[in-house]
Amino acid sequence: MNFLPLVSIPIIFLLVVLFKPHISKLLKWNICAVCVSVSSTWVVMLALLSANVIVDATPIAILMGMSVTGFMYKLEAYYKSHKLRHLWFSRLVVILGGFLSVIVLLQRNWQVFLLVGISSILLLVIATFLTQGTTHEDAVESAGDGVKKSLLKKLDNCC
């Protein structure tokens, strides 16, 4: 079953690309064909793992990690378009929370999964909405010319 992503991802990708104009009209937002194909593949594989059809969770974990990284980049685009600060913090929350969520989900530890998921979402909401009125540029400018200004720039430009 480790070959399933090699078949399903290209098929779903092509289907999404072909039907994207129609899907976008219905949903009113832009969808990413790669994101949809990877996410739907790991969801199906997770269901097959739960049904004991798949025994190796490694490919599922890899695909889920790809989804976590994709979500982080979508969140980054949102932060940058709205000029929000603390992007570095949101990156850490998504990556660390996503990593832990994937591990506990694959271990079928539902209570910890819910706790990690809710905590991560709560931290993202706090970081996003409590800093919405202050831009990153404001934070850098108010930091002066010292180490704090340099650190703020390095934290946001780590990638």
CB-based burial, 57-75: b 16+ in 10 Å, e otherwise: bebbbebbebbbeeebeeb
> Which token pair is 135?
């831009």
Collect all residues with Cβ–Cβ distance below 8 Å to 128 and sequence separation of at least 6: 79, 84, 90
How sure is the predictor about 38, in pLDDT bands with cuts at 50, 70 and 90?
A: very high
User: Which pLDDT does position 30 carry in this prediction?
Assistant: 81
Q: Per this entry, what is the length of the chain? A: 159
User: Which pLDDT does position 31 carry in this prediction?
Assistant: 85
- Residues 116-144 have a mean pLDDT of 74
User: Which pLDDT does position 78 carry in this prediction?
Assistant: 85
**Cβ proximity of 51 and 75 under 8 Å:** no
- Residues 108-125 have a mean pLDDT of 93
User: Which pLDDT does position 27 carry in this prediction?
Assistant: 81
- Residues 41-48 have a mean pLDDT of 96
pLDDT over 70 percentage in the chain: 81
Query: What are 13-27's pLDDT values in tens digits?
Result: 999 999 988 888 888
User: Which pLDDT does position 26 carry in this prediction?
Assistant: 85
How sure is the predictor about 134, in pLDDT bands with cuts at 50, 70 and 90?
A: low
- Indicate if the pLDDT at residue 151 is higher than 80: no
d(Cα 11, Cα 97) in Å, to the nearest integer? 30
- Residues 116-123 have a mean pLDDT of 93
User: Which pLDDT does position 29 carry in this prediction?
Assistant: 76
DSSP per residue over 134-157, as a string?
Answer: SBHHHHHHHTTTSHHHHHHHHHHT
